[in-house]
Structure 1
Amino acid sequence: MTFHIVGIGASAGGLEAIAEFFENMPHNSGMAFIVVQHLSPDYKSLMVEILSKHTQMEVLRAEEGMLVEPNKVYLIPPKKNLSIFNQRLLIEQSSSTLPNYPVDILFRSLAQDQAEKAIAIILSGTGSDGSLGIHHIKENGGIVIVQNPESAKLSGMPENAISTELVDFILTPAQMPSQLISFIDHPPVTNNNHEDLLLISPNEFDIILSILRNRNNFDFSEYRSNTILRRIERRMIMNQVTNLKDYIMILQNNPSEATVLHKEILIGVTSFFRDESAFDELQNKWLPILFSEKKDKNLRLWVVGCSTGEEAYSVAIVLKELMDKLNNYFNVKIFATDINQEAINSASVGFFPKSILGNISSERLSKYFVPKDSGFQISRDIRQMVIFAQHDIIKDPPFNNIDMITCRNMLIYMQPVLQTKVLDLLNYSLKKKGILFLGSCETSGALVEYFETLSSKWKIYSSKGRTKQIDAKRMYAKTITFPDKEKQVSINIYKDSSYMQEDKLIKRLLSILPDKYLPLTAVVGSDMTLRYLVGNSEDYFKLPAGKLEYNITKMVPKELIIPLSTGLKKVFQNEEDLSYNNIHFKSKNNTQYIKLNLKLLPHKFGEEALAAVFFEEINSDKGNNFNDVNLEYDIGRETKQHINDLEQDLLLTKETLHAAIEELETSNEELQSTNEELLASNEELQSTNEELHNVNSEYQLKIIELTELNNDFKNLLSTVQIGTLFLDENLNVRKFTAPMDNLFALDNSDIGKSIYNLKNKTTVEDLVNKFVQVHKTIKSQEIEVKTKDGIEFELKIIPYDIGQNNYSGVMITALDKTCK
């Protein structure tokens, strides 16, 4: 039997939200609910009793091994963490020393156990508990609902969840049940067999991939169709459509839907030291071998699909620890790349919520992280080891001369052909004996002959140094030719990161070309990025090592850097063409003298400003077809002196900055030490405050119930008109009703007085002794008495029961016999 299981996470202020949610949730929805709160370990929780008054569903306190069933509510016990496995609840003791994140723990296990049947709800509370867990919920196809921060008593947890951009609905607690019912009542498209969707509508599936490619410039055609179909079906359910044609209409009419689908397909679950044993083996066994075989002090690593940075920083920490241990230090550069620019931006900041505590040891936390108000900042020495950049492993050129690559849990989403293609590129990037670190469910696949297996359990491999020829298309997007009167001119188009249309750019370039002679020509953007290259560039351009950059000043000989950078700057600023004469540089064979002609390409409003650079050899017998004013440019003593002056100024600036940084570091260390102590105290107080807030909320509800009960009791007694007198354990008056005035002279001032001090209006002189006797013997008595006015009453004297055979005081009722 399959059904949806809803995990509800809340902290301070969440009790009212939980009650409001269940008041609006039908008791027969077919869903099960697991509620996790931050409960105080020092107070008995009254949640079962309180919540039972707001729902007709059975409310249970979770127990070890309890089977989760529909239409029931399960509550976390105090001092425990709650998870689920095979639809049964598992209970673990929570840490008494470290901050606890029970909502993340539940969500993570719920996602793994229930996949698309998992639903996560985050209600009022402080902190970020739940924000990491919803990554797992979304990755496995579940949905996430968060309380509108404006309706929450404390908005910390909802706001942190919303900042992940993984939330499906932001609602008030009262609105959530109807949305849930609408979601689960929507009929499934494929009955959990996602491939059925492809068999039903293969053409529509291709149309959706085409829309995603056109809208987001990303091709999913070589990704596993089952993964994509699962995300598509989920979005269909969220939009309440039952066939792909209707969903295509939504994609076409609502551009934001294509963005949402694109993001959901690319959702990556990551964490610090994922598969910690794998990192331990890497650090203790394979990295030391890599260190020992290094002939230089430069260590280059590449983290592919780094997501929000946890993997890259984990690798950096492992390297730092190992270098400290071996006292063997390298110049480490970790290139961390991902196709998702938002993920790269987040990773670059290096700030993480407090819930990472569950994945990082306290020693590493104190050494490599700086505590902040709402989380932790990665330390500067670790951050400086990592270079983040947006990069598409499928289309963009790979890095080269890499000592180690980690590409974990990305290949499993690709079809075998694409997996082989990516592995081929990774092997091309690796040096011989370089390490390849894959995810636990991935292998070297069809390229097994190119890798040596170091650890079959943790999928760690070593490159054998055998590579295939890399596809030329990774260096050039396209090669075209056009006829010339003297020769065929070939244009090699370098990979372009912009989205401009190529045919328009070529047309603009051709409009300024000479009729007969075409020298080496480069088209450059205002950011110095090389867009197009025409002619033989062998003596002029060289690709830089490492990540490919198309900045023209980093590709040309050093003698051309100054004239190109200054000349292009003037052309773009003044919008006037410019030429430089007598520029010389050393090529492979000899010293070449050239003339640089810089011309602004014609452009319309809205088009990018581009300039063409013509490298014309002065000794060429082809003639000069450019009529610009020529400026003599001599890289001689004056220029070298100018460069030297600039270098000296830069050195002085660096020294001044270094001195200032040292002073700031000294002050910062002192402040950091104080700040850590304050934050530690603040965390303890905040945790205690949350727990007390929950206890206080429960007591407030109890007080309200008691007040209502007391009012009901008071109104009942006044309506029945039966004389009633309550005496405490000392036989002092506690309460009484008006008819009791017939037996004793009573008014409000007598409350608290001894029964011995009251005037007896009956003819029974030892009446008080009867009360004492019942109080001592705990045996009830019934007697008849007559007042001095002649009115007969039937008295019942009973001990006052306070529960479990305990008694405290006496209660007397008097019934007027004349009224029978």
Structure 2
Amino acid sequence: MRAVSERLAPDDDFEEVLRYLKESRGFDFTGYKRTSLMRRVRHRMTQVGIDNYPDYIDQLQVNADEFNSLFNTILINVTGFFRDAEAWDFLREDVVTTLLAERGPDDPIRVWSAGCASGEEAYSLAMVLAEAVGPERFRQRVKIYATDVDDEALTHARHALYGERELQNVPAELVAKYFEPQNGRYAFRKDLRRSVIFGRNDLVQDAPISRIDLLVCRNTLMYFNQETQAKVLGRFHFALMPRGVLFLGKAEMLLSHSRIFDPVDLKHRLFRKALSGVGGTAHFVTQSYVQDRRIDLGGLDQLREYAFSASPVAQVVVSAEDVVALVNQQAQAMFGLSAKDIGRPLRDLDLSYRPVELRGYVEQARLERRALRVKEVEWSRAAGESLWFEVHINPLVTGDNTLIGVSVVFHDVTSARRLLEDLEYANRQLESAYEELQSTNEELETTNEELQSTVEELETTNEELQSTNEELETMNEELQSTNDELQTINDTLRERTLELDQVNDFLESILTSLRPGVVVLDLQMRVLAWNRGAEELWGVRRDEAEGEHLLNLDIGLPVADLRPVVRNALTDAAYLTEMKMAAVNRKGREVTVRVVCSSLRSNTDTPNGAILVMEQSS
């Protein structure tokens, strides 16, 4: 543990960097986890060649552009459409369906995407809700508020332009339905985009948006320390409507905040606002209100019938004429009744006198118009097993005091009675062992203290493991961000390579098109280029000549005589000379060859090689 404490010890110089950022630019990173935050700041310092924090503050003071580079490094905008597809499927099929069922057909739906980065998450929500209610109703009912602290990311999100690689997780049918091709990219539908409102919001400092039905904040809390997480979650609790849903990232667990959020699905990190929780609403001026959302229920008669039948306690209803009117499933199973007994007089059934004389109680409830309770009713079943009941007899009276029947409910209290008997027996045992228990109690108190200490250690370890998990997820997102950067660089290099190939093909076509023989030499007089004209003149193939020293070529030209002029071309960038030489061509004929030698100049106007142009004189 000491090694961990030393590793997490605060660095005064680093804290000074955070204070400077807060005072000069209004960005408060003091609530972020120090390990990942220091790692990203150090990464940016390495990129600019600075190895200590005071010097980096000086760099920020003299170079205003460095702030943007630092913020882009700290604020890792790793996101994507339908990221963690399984969680999004659960949100679509279960949470959104329930959310819509709990609201009227015209009730507004307010969604908050907190930490939206470049907008993929907000537009994913738009597609889910548009699919659920239809595009037309979506425009009328839905408002999605997407916020972030990164202004550059928000600008990108407002443009809603994405490439094919960014849309690879979006099903093809959704791409065709919700995106429009635009200059090689894809733009989210403008008519639906008006329902997605982007704005800057600092979750730590700014007041939350209120009256939210669904709040999505994925892989953002893990960057904050525990104190800041508690503060932000209190704001989220205030922002959500009653029964509002919070959707977190896969590394975020709400270990210490169960009092304000109830889990809907822990695997997919979905939580519902706990109505009894305290979310800290006293910090904000605005107050949320509860909308009256009532649902028109149909088929209530059938619903009541099934509810009565499925009741876990045995129940029989007798009409005003003492005829059995209703018997639920539990009563049928308990007392051997069936649907054939419905309509028979109560006196004709064994139930009228066993396990208790019911007729007198039913008559009393009918006459006195009051509920009766019969306790400690014992019933011995055929197998020799005894059951105990508490029987409730309730008159069923209409609003004008007309009796329409009597309800008889058999509450099985066998378990409670047996428990009471066991407790009485245990009490006798306890009394006989009081002195021994006194000693045992002292031992238990000692053990309890040890267990409490162990529990506290386990809780600490659990929170450390959660923190480690969040740190690993943070590092994973940093690696993904780096991978995206490398992918961009790779795309750029691929484009450059294509351009170079085109240039090489162009130069190759020029050399091939020239009828005279052209030879290009490097500073060591090795052959760099050997065109078709040279092949036809001397009978040496290109692959045989390239890479060879000029003086080692076995051709019909006295190459040794070219050494002085080539050396002059290699030392003088302005050198150019022409000469005629006797030679033997590839056909073995003696010919006169005109040779022009010039320097191959670089961009800095210095010699970079030599060029020989050879042409047979007529």
The TM-score bracket by the shorter chain reads 0.3 to 0.5
Q: Please say which structure displays the higher CA radius of gyration.
A: 2
**TM-score normalised by length of structure 1:** 0.36
**TM-score normalised by length of structure 2:** 0.47
